[in-house]
């Protein structure tokens, strides 16, 4: 017990030869009690500081995780805004090109149908010797006009130009694709048939008139 800047303690002192003891009270130095008190205070302060350190470490971990998420948010947002903006520009361009191709295909289809109907409507069996020259010139003019329109469309639409078709795959380079060649031959024959027919009729009529 500390009283007046000092502390007291109880000790047992031996008395006589029979091993008896007597209790007495000794006063501890004041500076020793002060040191003990300061040590207790320091221990309490250290425990408080450890708890504060643990709390600060936890808060530090939370803030570092928050900063990591913020950095990820900033980078991810900028990356996706850039990617989506570029993609939208590309898609818009492709959409406009596809729309133009669709309009061109529609217009070309209408023109081709018109020429086809006019060519199929030619009835050369009704031509007489007096009108054959005029009818033949008119038919040849129509054939030439349809050919010019066809060639013009081929330059605008790759689907009409066999030369612009994709290159054959390596698996097909080793052999000849006879079905494809046959298809091109039929297309060429169909396109040239009106001209061949008109030329044949012209030759026949010239031979008839010469007689």
Per-residue confidence band for 36, with pLDDT thresholds at 50, 70 and 90? confident
Walk across the sheet containing 20-28 and list its strands. Answer: 2-3, 6-15, 20-28
Per-residue confidence band for 31, with pLDDT thresholds at 50, 70 and 90? confident
* CA 42/CA 47 separation, integer angstroms: 9
* CA 145/CA 139 separation, integer angstroms: 10
Residues whose CB is less than 8 angstroms from the CB of residue 164 and which lie 6 or more positions away in sequence, other chains included: 158
Per-residue pLDDT reduced to its tens digit, 171-210: 444 455 566 666 556 655 555 656 666 666 766 666 666 5
3-state secondary structure of 3: strand
Per-residue pLDDT reduced to its tens digit, 66-116: 999 999 999 999 999 999 999 999 999 999 999 999 999 999 999 999 999
Q: 144, 155, 84: which is closest to 119 by C-alpha?
A: 144
* Count of all residues that appear for the chain in the document: 211
């Amino acid at each position: 017990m500390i009283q007046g800047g000092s502390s007291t303690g109880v000790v047992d002192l031996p008395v006589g030869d029979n091993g008896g003891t007597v209790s007495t009270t000794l006063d501890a130095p004041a500076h020793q009690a002060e040191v003990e008190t300061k040590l207790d205070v320091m221990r309490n302060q250290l425990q408080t500081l450890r708890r504060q350190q643990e709390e600060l470490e936890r808060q530090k971990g939370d803030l570092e995780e928050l900063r990591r998420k913020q950095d990820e948010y900033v980078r991810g947002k900028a990356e996706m805004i850039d990617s989506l903006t570029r993609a939208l520009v590309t898609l818009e361009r492709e959409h406009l090109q596809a729309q133009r191709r669709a309009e061109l295909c529609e217009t070309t289809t209408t023109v081709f149908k018109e020429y086809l109907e006019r060519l199929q409507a030619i009835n050369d069996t009704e031509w007489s010797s007096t009108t054959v020259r005029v009818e033949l010139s008119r038919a040849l003019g129509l054939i030439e006009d349809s050919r010019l329109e066809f060639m013009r469309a081929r330059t605008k639409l790759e689907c009409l130009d066999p030369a612009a078709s994709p290159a054959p795959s390596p698996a097909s380079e080793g052999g000849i694709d006879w079905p494809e060649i046959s298809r091109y031959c039929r297309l060429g024959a169909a396109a040239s048939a009106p001209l061949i027919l008109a030329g044949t009729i012209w030759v026949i009529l010239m031979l008839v008139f010469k007689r």
